[in-house]
Structure 1
């Protein structure tokens, strides 16, 4: 019997280009960013920003995690204190982003990332976790609620550079 060589770990600065590749593939597959804006993005500049975020975060509790298949990055997650006005930055952590490469979904990478994100938040002594998800992303919302998260009634609308808006709802869970 053979098992796949898969894992999740803290990101390294050298992972930045792979994180950008996953992020751009996700945005393209989900039409999350209008095509003209997506085409105008500079992957090298984005990779530089991710490398800086990984190596010199503004808060020691801001972490980037990656899901690996062998040595290949298949997804990433960003965790940090919750910056919502109704949160307590000592007790409330947040999953700011969790993305799996569209070509490698349904292979367990999201589950591994989610568990690593929750474990990381708990290790940083957060007792609650929050996660803003797009209201129309039924697949992600189902995945998150099936993992024990629930809506807490908060919602928001974000406006992009193109004028398009994204509606989000907040999910939460208790960290044990």
Structure 2
């Protein structure tokens, strides 16, 4: 999603990743999504650093990628979680058992063409080791529920124009490119990266039936969102 450079790396969309750290696989841990606590900041910072280094590898120089450090991300999230929430902002975490393996943030959109009924998926990422376990889909469902609970009827998301994996994930969930583009400053010296916006109307839960958590596209068709992509 949207990315701001520096040590405040808390607003971006990286990859849909999951987590199971390369050891022998035992039984799959119980999966869940919940609202983040301040104590989750280090885990979220770790996941975000991994996700962002991968997502921006083709767009940024190695020395810039090296600044994507877990501690910087964690400090930014801790400040957010311990401070007053603004713009209806909510940080959600995906867990495998007790372990945080992914995160997503949703808030009110501040795009110039957005009305009060529009929410923004600010960032969504899952650790690479935990991909294809449904964490990304569960996070997106929780984002939709959170947006609806705050009276939002539409969801938007900015992402790197070159991030085909994330775009595929969100498109499969029912979001579509709405024609909006922008250049985002992503380096200390003013370097930019192109971004595009996806959006969707949020389905009425009563009308959506069993797929009530999924966004809909502009035609009102509920998007398929059962899997977990390689990146989102």
Normalised by the length of structure 2, the TM-score is: 0.69
Provide, for residues 2-33 of structure 1, a one-character-per-residue CA deviation record: whole Å limited to 9, x for no partner: 76400001000000000110011112223165
Judging by fraction of residues, say which structure has more strand. 1
Contact 1:27 1:33 in 2 (8 A): no
Provide, for residues 31-72 of structure 1, a one-character-per-residue CA deviation record: whole Å limited to 9, x for no partner: 165332343455434322201212324416100000000011
Cα distance, 1:104 vs. partner? 1.4
1:109 aligns with 2:135: yes
User: Among 1, 4, 8, which residue is 2:33 paired with?
Assistant: 8
User: Among 83, 106, 120, which residue is 1:79 paired with?
Assistant: 106
Q: For 1:151 and 1:45, how far apart are their aligned partners in 2? A: 31
The corresponding residue for 2:89 is: 62
Q: For 2:33 and 2:80, how far apart are their aligned partners in 1? A: 18
RMSD, aligned CA = 1.9
Kindly report which structure 2 residues correspond to 1:92-171, keeping only aligned pairs within 5 A, or say none.
92-160=118-186, 161-171=188-198
| 4+ residue segments displaced more than 6 Å | none
Q: For 2:126 and 2:189, how far apart are their aligned partners in 1? A: 25
Could you say which structure has the greater relative contact order, defined with CA pairs below 8 angstroms and 6 or more residues apart?
A: 2
Structure 2 unaligned residues grouped into runs of 5+: 1-26, 205-232
Q: For 1:133 and 1:38, how far apart are their aligned partners in 2? A: 17
Between stretches 153-162 and 91-100, larger displacement belongs to: 153-162
Normalised by the length of structure 1, the TM-score is: 0.90
